[in-house]
Chains A and B, each alone.
Chain A
Amino acid sequence: MAPKFAPLKDAPERSAASDGGRFALDRALLDALADLALQAARRAGASYADIRLGETLKETAYAKDDRLEQFDERSTRGFGLRVLLDGSWGFYGARRLDAASVAEGVERALENARAVRPIQGRPIALEELPAHEAEWIMPMGVDPFSISTREKADLLLAISAAARDNGADFCTALLCIAREERLFASTFGARIRQTRTRVQPTFTATAIDRAAGRMASRDSLTPARGAGWEYVTGAGLLEEAALAGRQAREKLSARPVVAGDYDLILDPTNLWLTIHETVGHSTELDRVLGWEANFAGTSFVKPAMLGNLRFGSELMTIVADRSQPGALSTIGYDDDGAPASSAEFKIVEKGVFKNFQMALGQAHYIGLPGSNGCAYADSPTSFPIQRMPNISLAPNPDTCKLDDLASGVENGIYVVGAGSWSIDQQRDNFQFGGQLFYEIKNGEIGDMLRDVAYQSRTIPFWNSLDGLGDASTYHLDGTFTCGKAEPVQVAPVSHGAPLARFRNVRVLNTSGGV
């Protein structure tokens, strides 16, 4: 029997909700459906059951050049019931919210648990989580769903026009808005209601040199956030689009990089993705256990490395949290019902690997007491799996700016924005591009370069970190769409980072020697 989960400090019963904060679904209906499911599962002999009920609202608007090509609203309501019967999971989800569907769901989930029993092998074992009854509403200013369709359409067309008026031949602009409202209930006694909202305004400006048959593009550097409409209006998108148009045009005539080894200064707008792929995914315990071996892969990190792997230099401290304001993984409780406070930990401390990310039912495999709050299901009808909280590189406590980092570089490149990305299935060999590249010569940041991609291996790369920006250089980036699991689930996650300097990294010229 797994040891009990250590009691942890609760998240607040109710966050300081502001305009737009709400839990809009019919509480009485959801409670009744949760009771129906959990009681029926218990009566049928399930040793554990949990259920997620709720709704996801999404709005997607897409413009290309002078044309609004798409404006969609999407609402999906449903439930997903997970039962543990004789050591086997059974799951059933449906996009319906009524008593008959939930009652059928209990039978189907139990049937599925029986169906997999012949191949169960080692029975599923769970630690017990403390029971929380709580409500958490993400604080935000203005509900983005309350903003008129026309205002959103006009914003996208204005972004596109700003880029095209400033040198871009083409511009696509995209606005995605999502809200998740969930009731989570479990036979441990949890009953948690949560609402969170996220926004993603983005664009790509493209410039063409038809005669030379070349093109260059510059993606928006404005990140997705867990926020309301005030974030979209305050992000300076029109100014950024105008700048992006000019930079896309400038990229066409920029000097091609000469392939070789360079010192790199990575802007947080680039580094977040490197953190995500090399640290975020490599320290997921389900990968380490082999549960993702057939798809997302395993990891070069092993349980025996806990506490002793020199992951990076002394400057490297990677923090997990579910509390950064505006971050995409910020929430009161994870999808197993573990509170946000359990997800406040260091993955790497001063270069040494300290913690895996874990969901319910994983920790005992490596002799640890319990989950650290890293579960997420991308819809009520998805099986919850281990997913990242916010994972960020802590800034330098001492003053250090871009010029300070550049001053120590003889021959380097300053990389801004995320581009093409790829990493092996154990999260070791990687290759990343970017949006903007600037030569650094003898301590000075100079001309724009093009056709840059950097390639390295996770441990040597992080051990080459020898300069770190301070908090004033810290920036929170992230994505709506981190993919994992079979069938694929898509999770939102944020990563913060300061400026960072890495020594002797291999750089490719993507138009020549690759």
Chain B
Amino acid sequence: MFLSSDDVKSIAKKIIAGSNADACVVKIDGGEDYSLRFARGGATTNIATSETTVRVSSHIGGRVGSVTTASIDETALAAARARSEEIARMLPVDPDYVAPLGPQEYDASARYDDNAASLKLDTLAAQAGRVIEEGARRNVDTFGCASSTRRFEALATSNGLFAYERRSEIDLSATARNKSDTWSGWAGAHEFFGARLDAETIAARACAKAAYNVDPVDLEPGDYAVILEPVAVAELAFWVMMAMDARAADEGRSFFARPGGGALIGEKLFDEKFTIRVDPADPLAPEGGVGWEGVPHRARAFIDRGAASTLYRSRSWARKTDAEPVPAARNFIVEGGETSLDDLIRSVKRGVLVTRIWYENMVEPKSLLLTGLTRDGNFLIENGRVTAPVRNMRFNQRLGELFANIAALGKTERVWRAVGGGAAAAPPMLAEKFHFSSKSSGI
């Protein structure tokens, strides 16, 4: 159920008014989700769902108990509040307890489209239809998913904080496979505003990448120059962002830990060209204004021209280490340059163009050694031209080394993420010595 700021405030007020705890925090979120999937040119499954959840956290004597309910019925909310108090009383005291925040100033974030009708299933079906039509025209099979949501998130504390944000999201991703099932292509997009999603372009890109009826080139594992398309760069940068926890660094458990103790803040760890920013006001991939625990997101770089400039830090760890709390971010921008993707390709003597990557997992967190595979559109580049499809390969790549050896960056653009996964913007990137460790027959 999609609730207004006034509706949510009234619910939170009642819960807090009835609280017997030292402090009370109420988090309310919910909304409507739509999604449909298609395969081999026809619809398979679809959903439309509506939900609201209310999480009541009671703070009693330095202990916090939380209960979440999916009901906004007054009796259910009173029961959730009472149970959260009961839980808190039974817990051991938290040695690093911090009281809830009071009022905060949040930066505005433009992530909501009033035209909610543009998100419904018939709209998604029309977009899927464009992919299916293009597949028929190019004689490739098409598969994909179109999803949309409009959601709200609210946070209220007994110390006077109230925050309400809403967002709309739409995404379309399409996989195309040739009729002999020996090659595939992919394209996708994710937007906060429905009108910005260009289904025609997604359909054309996915189908064009798949429309190869030749045997893919079988490259031997080894180090290659690669051009990673923006969606692959964003995916790899996301792993770097996830590793940027101050506590893990301070405790010596992360790539950002300084040998001997402390964190590598301010150290140049990557190439000058590598910057990751978070900004609620960014036009391409705005972060929300309200961060975890109610701490405001501010415009800031996490990686600034190759140096780790910020690590995210919970409020309790910030207090313990006498540092600023910084919320972890889900929406981020990898800064790019001015080179076009075509110009990047023209600059490569021999290398691989990678459309996207799949099933990454961290092998060694200390060295940021990541494994994963290429997927849905690998191409050989020879003497500045894309010459043939290349069979997929597994990579084992240290991200520190990858982002320390950036040869060139293209222009940053908004990339696909699944609805609910945050927004990201990234450039295509040319890097040398990307390590492919084995071949994959997966198409």
Residues on A close to B: CB < 8 A?
Answer: 66-78, 80, 88-96, 108-109, 111-112, 115-116, 118-122, 148-150, 153-154, 157, 169-170, 206, 208, 210-215, 289-291, 293-295, 297-298, 300, 381-383, 385, 420-429, 431, 433, 451, 453, 455, 457, 485-488, 506, 508, 510-511, 514
The dominant DSSP class at the A interface is mixed
A-B contact pairs, 9 of them (CB 8 A): A74-B68, A78-B51, A112-B121, A119-B125, A208-B251, A210-B259, A420-B362, A429-B394, A487-B420
Q: Is there contact, CB below 8 Å, between A73 and B94? A: no
Q: Is there contact, CB below 8 Å, between B120 and A115? A: yes
Instruction: Tell me the complex Cα distance, A109–B96, Å.
Output: 48
Question: Which of A94, A148, A157, A300 contacts B50 (CB under 8 A)?
Answer: A94
| Chain B residues in 8 Å Cβ range of A170 | 251, 253
User: Which 7 residue pairs of A and B lie closest in terms of their CB atoms, listed nearest first?
Assistant: A121-B42, A424-B442, A213-B259, A514-B396, A429-B440, A426-B442, A293-B143
| Chain B residues in 8 Å Cβ range of A293 | 39, 143, 175, 177, 184
Instruction: Tell me the complex Cα distance, A215–B43, Å.
Output: 49
Seed contacts A91-B47, A424-B394; 16 additional CB < 8 Å A-B pairs: A67-B94, A73-B67, A74-B69, A75-B69, A93-B49, A150-B92, A170-B251, A290-B141, A291-B143, A293-B184, A294-B39, A420-B361, A431-B363, A431-B396, A487-B419, A514-B396
Q: Is there contact, CB below 8 Å, between B363 and A294? A: no
Q: Is there contact, CB below 8 Å, between A382 and B47? A: yes
Question: How many Å from the CB of A378 to the closest CB on chain B?
Answer: 12
Instruction: Tell me the complex Cα distance, A211–B362, Å.
Output: 23
Q: Which of B292-300, B382-390, B431-439 contacts A (4 or more CB under 8 A)?
A: B431-439
B33 is an interface residue with CB less than 8 A from chain A: yes
| Chain A residues in 8 Å Cβ range of B272 | none
Q: Is there contact, CB below 8 Å, between B369 and A422? A: no
| Chain B residues in 8 Å Cβ range of A294 | 37, 39, 143-145, 173-175, 186
| Chain B residues in 8 Å Cβ range of A149 | 65, 86-87, 90-91
Question: Which of B39, B41, B141, B441 contacts A426 (CB under 8 A)?
Answer: B441
B367 is an interface residue with CB less than 8 A from chain A: yes
Q: Is there contact, CB below 8 Å, between A422 and B373? A: yes
Q: Is there contact, CB below 8 Å, between A68 and B66? A: no
Choose among B37, B69, B128, B144 the residue with the greatest number of A CB atoms under 10 Å from its CB: B37
Q: Which residue of chain A is the closest to B395 with respect to CB atoms?
A: A514
Q: Is there contact, CB below 8 Å, between B442 and A425? A: yes
Q: Is there contact, CB below 8 Å, between B253 and A157? A: no
Q: Is there contact, CB below 8 Å, between A69 and B437? A: no
Q: Is there contact, CB below 8 Å, between A425 and B358? A: yes
Question: How many Å from the CB of B24 to the closest CB on chain A?
Answer: 15
Choose among A91, A95, A108, A300 the residue with the greatest number of B CB atoms under 10 Å from its CB: A95
| Chain A residues in 8 Å Cβ range of B361 | 420-422
The answer to whether residues A213 and B442 also contact, given A75-B68, A92-B49 and a CB cut-off of 8 A, is no
Instruction: Tell me the complex Cα distance, A43–B286, Å.
Output: 47
